[in-house]
Amino acid sequence: MKPLPTVRAALLAEPEKTRDPWLVGGLWMREAVGIIGGEPKCGKSFLALDLAVAVAAGIPCLRHFPTQQSGPVLLYAAEDAASIVRQRLEGIAHAAGVDFSALDVNVITAPVLRLDRSEHCKALRATVAALQPKLLVLDPFVRLHAIDENAAGEVAPLLGFLRSIQRELHTAVALVHHARKGAAHERGGQALRGSSELHAWGDSNLYLRRQGENLYLAIEHRAAPGKDRLHLTLRADPPALALTVVDSDPAQPSAPVQPSSLQRIEQILADSQAPLTQRQLRDVARMRASHVSDILAKLLSAGRVSRSPEGYRLNT
């Protein structure tokens, strides 16, 4: 029988040179869609605008992450007046040492943009096709629709539309979105408000979180390693006002790791002198009732808690 053809490994065809996978090295992948998330007043818009300035000017984002692919940026800021958007962009440009007047950030000035309206989607697609931006920033998601964010069937078509823009017009999409209040104990993606479709959709996701006076950034990618607890601060040096990476001090102890949701429920039960109802646990832990119910079911199954008519008690 004739043997199968073989070749020494060193003589195999070399792979074709691939494009750089990053839009901004380590922070946002090329042509990625994703979420910039966090609780209110955590600097989400400042981070989105810093990303926009970096891509438009070809400079490091946050003066830390090198931009690998630069080009025009398209921005829609639904909550801020045009003068505020200009002031923030100008401040970031000053902090980065770039000429604001030459910055290729194009701002959509339409008073309303709704992703659940077909005519608005067509207009947005036409705008992206005309400008061919490297990055589209939409801030925030809650102002871009009138759907139920908790219903996956309503959220998915909107995210699917943005995905189609990314794939067909080759632009990255950054969607600013709120986390639920009181969700600081949960992972960034799990803390996002609304359907889990939002977390699953992202190729690159950035999550901001405050702990006391400190602000931290968590970076998550679908196809690359992420990074957790990058310390940031909003630094003012008029006219500059921009987020900046805080140099870590090895002499300083690291911040304590936040307990998981299950650990929090266990600790609340351990600290209580009397059984607690599911409602009481939900109020103390500041979690959704369904989340508390799931945790209690796991603890009951593992024999860690017992249930009585008065409520739940931790087994010792």
Q: What is the pLDDT of residues 172-192, one digit of tens each?
A: 999 999 987 665 556 666 778
3-state DSSP call for residue 47?
helix
Q: Which CATH class is domain 22-245?
A: alpha beta
What confidence category does residue 256 fall into, taking pLDDT thresholds of 50, 70 and 90?
Answer: very low
pLDDT per residue over 2-24, tens digit each? 898 999 898 888 765 556 899 99
- Give the mean pLDDT of 100-114: 96
pLDDT per residue over 42-53, tens digit each? 999 999 999 999
Q: Are 171 and 165 within 8 A, CB to CB?
A: yes
Domain ranges of the chain: 22-245, 261-314
pTM confidence score: 0.73
Pairwise CA distance, residues 35 & 142, whole Å? 13
Equal fold, 22-245 vs 261-314: no
Average pLDDT, the chain: 89
CATH number listed for the domain at residues 261-314: 1.10.10.10
Helical H segments across 260-302, by residue range? 261-271, 278-285, 289-301
